[in-house]
Amino acid sequence: MRYQINGYTDMYTVIANERKIGGAIEASSIRLRTGEVYGNAVLTRLEMSGAHFCSIGFVTEEGQRLIVHVDDVSMIADARHVNVCELRNDCMRAEKKADRMKRLKRLCELNEGSCTLTFQEEALLLAQDVGLEEAHAQVDLSFLPQAEKSKVVRIA
């Protein structure tokens, strides 16, 4: 888990910057005013009208895409920003993994022979988002810096 989401502003920030920061927002449950409860819902949109939030788009575990007015949301429980590989919603995990892998492959193809720091950072972000083992299995990521197994910390 990257971090806990504390409100609509956090949700909007993560969704708006999804490409830069990766991951997705998943709520353990969303309850609507009508009493319907959706478990492991992945939030995909948060629309604003002026300075006010007006609607939320999310995908249920069954793959159903819903758009509801914020006034119709009774409760969003345990919303958190997680890596795509950590999503509990199988439908969205598969969809977002495929999307991220496609982007990673295209990024590596376009930057073949050039290994800039910006390219390395974006490739590492995408690889961590889908899971390093799975990314290494599908794409040659030998250009990424290897993490040190043991770090020595010197004080003073």
In this predicted structure, what is the pLDDT of residue 117?
85
Answer yes or no: is pLDDT of 44 > 50. yes
Answer yes or no: is pLDDT of 61 > 70. yes
For the chain, the domain total comes to: 2
In this predicted structure, what is the pLDDT of residue 144?
75
In this predicted structure, what is the pLDDT of residue 3?
79
In this predicted structure, what is the pLDDT of residue 114?
79
C-alpha to C-alpha distance for 72 and 37, rounded to whole angstroms: 12
The type of residue at 42 is V
Residues above pLDDT 70, as percent of the chain:
92
pLDDT band at 106 (very low <50, low <70, confident <90, very high): very high
Q: What is the CATH number of the domain that holds 85?
A: 2.30.30.100
**What residues does 75 pair with on adjacent strands?**
31
List the strands of the sheet with 24-32, edge to edge. Answer: 3-4, 73-82, 24-32, 37-49, 52-59, 65-69
**Does residue 146 sit within a domain?**
no
Q: Quick one: which of 109, 114, 96, 119 has its CA closest to 140?
A: 109
**Does residue 143 sit within a domain?**
no
**Does residue 152 sit within a domain?**
no
Q: Report the pLDDT averaged over residues 53-72.
A: 96
pLDDT band at 150 (very low <50, low <70, confident <90, very high): very low
**Does residue 95 sit within a domain?**
yes
Answer yes or no: is pLDDT of 139 > 90. no
In this predicted structure, what is the pLDDT of residue 121?
87
Answer yes or no: is pLDDT of 68 > 80. yes
**Does residue 155 sit within a domain?**
no
Distances (CA, A) of 63 to 119, 131, 135, 138: 33, 22, 24, 26
Angle, CA of 106, 131 and 11, to the nearest 5°: 85
In this predicted structure, what is the pLDDT of residue 149?
45
